[in-house]
Copies of this chain bind each other. A is one copy, B any other.
Amino acid sequence: MKYKDKNVPEVVIKRLPRYYRYLGECLAQGEMRISSGKLSERMSVTASQIRQDFNYFGGFGQQGYGYNVEYLYNEIANILGLKNGYKAVIIGAGHLGMALANHASFEKRGFEITALFDVDEYKVGTRINSKPVIHMEKIENYIKENNISIAILALPKSEVKELAERLAEYGIKGILNFSSAEIKTAKPIAVENVHMSDSLMTLSYKIKLEEDEHKDKK
């Protein structure tokens, strides 16, 4: 049975990038092998969970030896599709779009950001981190002609909903959404949200909790 049939829980998927990052570090430090126990210590998760997680995709380790770091690293990359060379565009060349265009880690993870899109005539025609800024009206053709899989949305909430619908029609496979808008398209596509202010609110809760606990002790 291939892992595709196993219906891997979303929580497990969300842990994979973290494993991947850690293994990358191990690799950079020249470590050849690692056991679930060692990995567990460093990442402060249970060894049991690590083994279980990897087993959703078929065992990559060897009893008595552990996991071969490089092999495991590559396998996770495969699972995540990082070897597929997905191409992405950034929509919105404001501060956030620019920040994302300069964000090296996307390319480090195997994604290729080919262009930015904006409606601002002053920005169109310029380059950001060597990537061209193109006018929004050209996006349909661009996506179709260049086999773009991913749209990274760095624009205001108000414009996102309508745009997402169009992008799905143009054949975009997935959206990385930085706005606080909820995306739901007629043609269902993959969506991943990065709600920055949600994270700040969650942080706020944790701080408040900490403060309250302190107060109670008095």
The reply on A32 being an interface residue by CB < 8 A is no
With A13-B205, A194-B199: A173-B210 Cβ-Cβ less than 8 Å: yes
Question: Which applies to chain A's interface (DSSP): helix, strand, loop or mixed?
Answer: helix
Which of A98, A152, A198, A200 has most chain B Cβ within 10 Å?
A: A200
B180 touches A105 (CB 8 A): yes
A208 touches B96 (CB 8 A): no
B210 touches A190 (CB 8 A): yes
**In the complex, A13 Cα to B198 Cα: how many Å?**
10
Q: Which residues of the partner chain B approach A4 to less than 8 Å between Cβ atoms?
A: 209, 212-213, 216
**In the complex, A213 Cα to B152 Cα: how many Å?**
24
Q: Which of B109, B152, B204, B207 contacts A201 (CB 8 A)?
A: B109
With A98-B95, A99-B95, A180-B21: A80-B199 Cβ-Cβ less than 8 Å: no
Number of interface residues of A (CB under 8 A): 64
Looking across the interface, which residue of chain B has its beta carbon closest to that of A184? Answer: B44
Looking across the interface, which residue of chain B has its beta carbon closest to that of A198? Answer: B17
The reply on A39 being an interface residue by CB < 8 A is no
With A95-B95, A99-B94, A176-B199: A81-B204 Cβ-Cβ less than 8 Å: yes
Q: List 10 A-B contacts (CB under 8 A).
A: A14-B202, A80-B202, A95-B95, A95-B99, A103-B196, A103-B197, A105-B196, A175-B203, A176-B200, A190-B210
